[in-house]
Amino acid sequence: MEVEVRRARHALYLHLAAVHAGPLGPALLGHPELAPLYPQAYAACGGAEGLPCAGVGGEPRVCVVGRLAHLARSALRGGKRRREQERAMVEGLLLCMAHLEREFPPDFRPVLEATRNLLEKDLKYLRGELAPEDFLKEA
């Protein structure tokens, strides 16, 4: 069961990284019309309060995708300490998504909400609030 959950989480994070990685990414969630807006929306961010990027900012097309790709790699490995680190990273990404919802054009809201919903589901699993079987059912 654990191996199946690891693979499902790995696939989830690879999918989310692809969604945010380029202009065609939002099409993976059914929003191909957002491709022309991608370069402007993902170019810069002022940084989310409570994260290391606060006030300094960054490029979401780099930092968001990098964190999602890191979680994809991490998900394939085991260990309680690793899951605690992942939980902290997911919590940080949720702060980031909330911040991006304020900074991005309103058209991107469905993409950011879908990302947030998937992150919240994984966070429930990481906190032990969602059983592995239930995580796989909803995957």
Instruction: Report whether pLDDT(90) > 90.
Output: yes
What are 18-52's pLDDT values in tens digits? 999 999 999 999 999 999 999 999 988 888 888 88
Mean pLDDT across 130-138? 85
What local confidence, expressed as pLDDT, does residue 139 receive? 59
pLDDT score of 35: 96
Domain ranges of the chain: 2-22+54-138
Burial class (CB in 10 A: 0-12, 13-18, 19+), 95: middle
The Cα–Cα gap between 139 and 136 comes to: 5
